[in-house]
Amino acid sequence: MPDPAPHAAPRGLVLVNLGTPESATPDAVRRYLREFLTDRRVVQIPHIVWKPLLDLVILPRRSPVVAEKYAEIWMDGGSPLRAYTERLAAAVQARLPAWRVRAAMRYGTPAFADAVEALQAQGVREIVVLPLYPQYSTTTTGSVEDAVAAIRARLPGLRIDLIPDYHRDTRWVAAVADSIRAHWATHGRGDRLLLSFHGIPERLVRAGDPYAAQCEAGTQAIAAALGLDRDDLLLTYQSRFGRERWLQPYTLTTVEQLGREGVRTLDVACPGFAVDCLETLEEIAMQNADAFRAAGGGEFRYIPCLNDGAAHAEALAAIAGDVAA
């Protein structure tokens, strides 16, 4: 391939994460949850039933409780999910000088459509969209695909490619394995290693969502990269919402069981989350850690997400570069 012409239009890369409230207040949490939980990719209950339930019961009850949880993890740069995603985009930009890299959120700000339009205004004609979900799910990546379809219809002159998943990409797997090894180098290897992924309803997997299979395949790849057998790792699912049966085993039930068994040191990583957020910093590192100890367990050692670390930025830059090659 010849080098691109010196005045070739720059390529765009949009790293898309879920979204998060603007502030740790009940009002901001309510606005965020309302947008998120009315996406039909996320909740499939007919709106005629779901909207009144959401507005009259779920949001009034949940928003103040969840706002307090956000307040416990809030950072100087705002919500951890947004702050880390923006730092990650800057770290990827540093590795792709010929590109224009932006962070965007599927719900809330910086809005995905605004990021794409800003790139277009900078002269970008080809955009790679990288949802920050290593494993594909209709509930997450599928929703970003909907947003891409809407933009394509509105801006037909743009070429937009989307990376559906990277759960077995060797560079990403190596970055996760290295982060676990680095934790062991500092703290020593724990008695057990558990990988906790965000859950989804089992119903969606039965209907064809590949998410669970990708969590399993990624776990096998991470085990192999660590030189372990698959049986040396536990894979569990967290963050259940609602009454339906979600993917099993549940993280909370498992850590309580491990605590009852008297496990002294438990290492926990969350490789489905690109960056730390409410579901890792509060649910795992606080709630699940407390539950483990209350059940009789010893030390619960949370291994942070890849966040804006060099290995992560390099892996994502390489994954995006492959699409454009």
Ligand X SMILES: C=CC1=C(C)c2cc3[nH]c(cc4nc(cc5[nH]c(cc1n2)c(C)c5CCC(=O)O)C(CCC(=O)O)=C4C)c(C)c3C=C
| Sites of contact with ligand X (CB under 6 A) | 18, 20, 33, 37, 42-43, 62, 66, 79, 81, 133, 137, 139-140, 198, 200, 211, 239, 241, 272-273, 277-279
Nearest residue to Fe ion, by Cβ distance, number only: 239
User: What would the two tokens of residue 139 be?
Assistant: 């509930």
Nearest-CA neighbor of 161 among 13, 318, 9, 8?
A: 13
What residues have CB less than 8 Å from 204, skipping those under 6 apart?
137, 138, 139, 211
Under a CB-based contact definition with an 8 Å cutoff, are residues 53 and 168 in contact?
no
- Residue 288 main-chain phi, psi, to 5 deg: -70, -35
Contact of residue 137 among ligand X, Fe ion, none (CB under 5-8 Å per partner type): ligand X
Q: Shortest Cβ distance from residue 279 to Fe ion (Å)?
A: 5
102 vs 106 by CB, closer to ligand X: 106
Q: Single out the residue of 63, 138, 214, 239 in contact with Fe ion (rule: CB under 5 A).
A: 239
Sign of CA dihedral 282, 285, 288, 290: negative
Q: Catalogue the E-assigned strands of 163-250.
A: 192-198, 233-238
Report DSSP state, residue 79.
Answer: S
Q: Do residues 192 and 234 make contact, with C-beta atoms less than 8 angstroms apart?
A: yes
Q: Evaluate the CA torsion angle 148, 322, 180, 197 in order and state its sign.
A: positive
Binding of residue 209 to Fe ion (CB under 5 A): no
Cβ closest to Fe ion, residue 93 vs residue 143:
143
**Minimum CB–partner distance for residue 253 and ligand X (Å):** 18
Task: Judge whether 196 and 156 are in contact, CB under 8 Å.
Answer: no
The interface partner of residue 292, options being ligand X, Fe ion, none and the CB cut-off 5 to 8 Å by kind, is: none
**What's the min distance (Å) between Cβ of 126 and ligand X?**
27
Distance in angstroms (rounded) separating the CA atoms of residues 206 and 218: 20
Q: Which does 130 bind (CB under 5 to 8 A by kind): Fe ion, ligand X, none?
A: none
In the list Fe ion, ligand X, none, the entry touching 133 (Cβ below 5 to 8 angstroms by class) is ligand X
- The answer to whether residue 283 forms part of the interface with Fe ion (CB under 5 A) is yes
Choose between 83 and 320: whose C-beta lies nearer to ligand X.
83
State the minimum distance, in angstroms, from the CB of residue 290 to ligand X. Answer: 17
- Residues in binding site for Fe(2+): 198, 279
Residues that bind Fe ion (CB under 5 A): 239, 279, 283
